[in-house]
Amino acid sequence: MAKRGAKVSGVSYRLHITPGIFVGSLVKVSDNSGAQLAKIIGVIRAKTVWRRIPGAAVGDMVIVSIREGRPELRKQIMRGIVIRQKRPYRRPDGTWIAFEDNAIVIVSPEGDPKGSEIRGPVAKEAADRWPRIASMATMIV
């Protein structure tokens, strides 16, 4: 039988979104931090069964290795937040949404964006979870 944790008030329920990006995936970096392409090497707070590859969905924080971009950023380990995924997922109102590409925004470990602008649309789920990204987004879908 699983242990029951302490009941914490004020914690909102996070909607389940189908993971569309897994460890090893190459994703586009959609900000002006200087990175262009990144490889997912880990997912923050991902719980899996034994030997299953961890997956990330829209709004999740991931650990990435920068593959293309400015020379001083290449081969650096950073954190990012998934703002778009190709895999369709269902919203509570019944609509299905999928984007044209898989994209992240490079952030600090606390969640502050490294760049000053975000290119392309940002999913509403990511904008609700990360207010600093929502303030930088030009389009929230």
Phi, psi (deg, nearest 5) at residue 35: -85, 150
Q: Mind listing the pLDDT tens digit for each residue in 67-88?
A: 999 999 999 999 999 999 999 9
Q: Which residues contact 73 (CB under 8 A, 6 or more apart)?
A: 33, 34, 35, 66
pTM of the full structure: 0.89
What are φ and ψ of residue 72, in 5° steps?
Answer: -75, -15
The answer, yes or no, to whether residue 9 has pLDDT greater than 60, is: no
Domains, the chain, ordered by start: 21-136 (2.40.150.20)
Average model confidence (pLDDT) across the chain: 93
Tens of pLDDT, residues 99-127: 999 999 999 999 999 999 999 999 999 99
Number of other CB atoms surrounding residue 48 within 10 Å? 11
